């Protein structure tokens, strides 16, 4: 892990911003193929997620299992980060390398608020 990965993993916005200003690359991947954006999504940090995207992180980056930051967020029930990722252009139809997409992750969550959030975002996309 790079220092920026660690900052993102711990949700440390200020340190992540400092590292980026010093030249840290938001596109760097760890040994699982995860970028700092993956970790920002995993820790459910909206500000950090936005920072990574505004600094050029690939919103569709896939880890070694094919999971995008969006799939990781929804798989953990992080609906606020999920919504931000979709608003900023993440593909809601993305699938991992096993062919699973958002609906599979939602079913695994078995959480009504997660289902509502995804339906809300999906309906807005159709409007």
Domain count, the chain: 1
User: Helix axis angle, 46-54 relative to 13-21, nearest 10°?
Assistant: 10
Domain CATH for 48: 1.25.40.20
Token reading at 91? 């593909």
The Cα–Cα gap between 89 and 12 comes to: 24
Whether the Cβ atoms of residue 68 and residue 61 lie closer than 8 Å to each other:
yes
Given a cut of 70, the residues of the chain with pLDDT beneath it are 122-127
Please give the pLDDT value at position 123: 66
Show the domain range for 36: 3-126
The Cα–Cα gap between 33 and 116 comes to: 30
Please give the pLDDT value at position 126: 58
In this structure, what is the dihedral angle of CA atoms 72, 115, 77, 64, given to the nearest 10 degrees? Answer: -10
């Amino acid at each position: 892990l790079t220092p920026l990965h660690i900052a993102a993993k711990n949700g440390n916005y200020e340190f992540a911003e400092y590292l980026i200003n010093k030249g840290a690359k938001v596109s760097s991947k760890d040994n699982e193929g995860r970028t700092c954006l993956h970790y920002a999504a995993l820790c459910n940090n909206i500000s950090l997620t936005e920072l990574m995207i505004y600094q050029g992180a690939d919103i569709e980056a896939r880890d070694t299992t094919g999971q995008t930051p969006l799939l990781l967020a929804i798989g953990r029930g992080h609906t606020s980060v999920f919504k931000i990722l979709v608003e900023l252009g993440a593909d809601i139809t993305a699938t991992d390398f096993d062919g699973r997409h958002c609906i599979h992750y939602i079913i695994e969550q078995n959480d009504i608020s997660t289902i509502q959030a995804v339906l809300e975002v999906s309906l807005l996309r159709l409007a």
